[in-house]
A and B are shown apart, each in its own frame.
Chain A
Amino acid sequence: MRPLRNRGPADSWLPVRREVESSGTSVVYAAVADWLPDDLQRPGLAAALGRDHKRLLEMNHVPNRSRFVASRLLLKSAAAAVLGATPDELELAYKPGGRPHLRGVDQLDVSLSHTEELLVVGLTRHGRIGVDAENADRRMLGLGTERQVCTPYELEAVLAVPVERRNGELVRLWTLKEAYSKAIGQGLRFRFTEFGFTPEDRQVQMLRPDGTPGAGWEWSFHSWLVDDSYMVSAAVYDPGFGGRGPAAAARPLLPVVPDPRLSAR
């Protein structure tokens, strides 16, 4: 799985639909500018955002406002495309811990993240998903953050990384932890020093603070460098109820139909 780039409301959702159809999970990314309406006062935005519009009105920090609006529009469009619905038919709601979900839709789990100019949305029909993104060059090392983020095993592993890649490794671990914490609906509630991940040169696995394996086969973790700038991580929980392989692929969530916009290009 690799994150799929979306270039705005006019772009095709067919690749995302196909990926959810075949593997059950897709991670989509886009630029804020591609999804930000020209006018946040425009008629229809309140309906498009639903209850999130009230939250928008409480925000004064302009970049956060932009990312908030654009990420919700991206998420609802992506989910609607996968579900065969329209964005306006979906209501984005939040669990008490802040975890987003589509009200009344239990066959698709969603997660979102945004940072700087990047939006990321995770979609899965298997179980649960969490996604997180940060600028890969964001300074985290030496700010007192590593002690709050890393297990003892991870601290040792981070220090073993060549100094020029050390900060990037910390960013990768942070996004993995945020992604997992979002998937389980904890967000910042979770103590990040109580679980860890494998060093950068190995397949990503969850570890206990001492470095021994810590999560079951139901979980899979991924990290990618996107647009040469952003570290994006995803945590996916698949309890296996839906099954995988040919039998599962033969039971589509919704039929994938050709996108007429593709033939027009």
Chain B
Amino acid sequence: MDDNATTSGGTALAVLVEEAARILGRPPGLLGPGQHLQHDLGFDSVMLLQLKGRLETRFPVLREVSLPDLLLGVHTLGALAGRLERTTGLPVA
């Protein structure tokens, strides 16, 4: 599982938090890297699709990455930020 992996990358995390907060309709300040996408934030499959769509506008290379490749084994915002950095290898657009 990726949740135990390093979740470095403040930039990716900041973008992720910003987009997740927009989908949830919550202030970004209420979101943190340790929060579980489903159990803590209530993300469902459509919201995950939506999140990937939004992230694609910030990291265009994600258009070539499938949803499972981005999300499988990832449960927290911090782990997803780490996956984002490793997957994109690009600065935030």
Q: B4 near A: Cβ within 8 Å?
A: no
| B-side contacts of A188, CB under 8 Å | 45, 48, 67-68, 71-72
Are B54 and A144 in contact, with the CB atoms below 8 A?
Answer: yes
User: Shortest beta-carbon distance, A228 to chain B, in Å?
Assistant: 20
Are A64 and B68 in contact, with the CB atoms below 8 A?
Answer: no
Are B45 and A61 in contact, with the CB atoms below 8 A?
Answer: no
Q: A145 near B: Cβ within 8 Å?
A: yes
User: Shortest beta-carbon distance, A137 to chain B, in Å?
Assistant: 12
Task: Compute the total of residue contacts between A and B using a CB distance below 8 Å.
Answer: 56
Q: How far is the CA of A115 from the CA of B45 in the complex (A)?
A: 10
The residue of chain B having its C-beta at the shortest distance from the C-beta of A181 within the complex is B45
User: Shortest beta-carbon distance, B32 to chain A, in Å?
Assistant: 13
User: Shortest beta-carbon distance, B37 to chain A, in Å?
Assistant: 10
Question: Could you give, for residues 20-50 of chain B, a 1 whenever the CB lies within 8 Å of some chain A CB and a 0 otherwise?
Answer: 0000000000000000101111101110111
The residue of chain A having its C-beta at the shortest distance from the C-beta of B37 within the complex is A61
- The answer, among A115, A148, A189, A192, for a CB contact under 8 Å with B44, is A115
Size of interface on A: residues with Cβ below 8 Å to B: 23
Q: How far is the CA of A188 from the CA of B44 in the complex (A)?
A: 11
- The answer, among B39, B52, B56, B72, for a CB contact under 8 Å with A61, is B39
| B-side contacts of A218, CB under 8 Å | none
Q: How far is the CA of A144 from the CA of B23 in the complex (A)?
A: 13
Q: How far is the CA of A61 from the CA of B54 in the complex (A)?
A: 23
Are B46 and A174 in contact, with the CB atoms below 8 A?
Answer: yes
Name the residue among B45, B46, B50, B71 with the largest chain A CB count within 10 angstroms: B46
Are B54 and A191 in contact, with the CB atoms below 8 A?
Answer: no
Question: Could you give, for residues 52-84 of chain A, a 1 whenever the CB lies within 8 Å of some chain B CB and a 0 otherwise?
Answer: 000000111101100000000000000000000
CB under 8 Å from chain A, chain B span 66-81? 66-68, 71-72
Are B72 and A144 in contact, with the CB atoms below 8 A?
Answer: no
| A-side contacts of B49, CB under 8 Å | 140, 143-145, 148-149
Q: How far is the CA of A150 from the CA of B42 in the complex (A)?
A: 25
Are B50 and A58 in contact, with the CB atoms below 8 A?
Answer: no
Q: A134 near B: Cβ within 8 Å?
A: yes
CB under 8 Å from chain B, chain A span 28-55? none
Which chain B residues have a beta carbon within 8 Å of chain A's beta carbons?
36, 38-42, 44-46, 48-50, 52-54, 56-57, 66-68, 71-72
Q: Other than the known A61-B42, A149-B49, what 10 A-B pairs have Cβ atoms closer than 8 Å?
A: A59-B40, A60-B36, A61-B40, A134-B46, A138-B46, A143-B49, A143-B50, A145-B46, A148-B49, A188-B67
In the A-B complex, the 7 residue pairs with the closest CB atoms: A144-B53, A61-B42, A145-B49, A59-B39, A189-B68, A60-B40, A143-B50
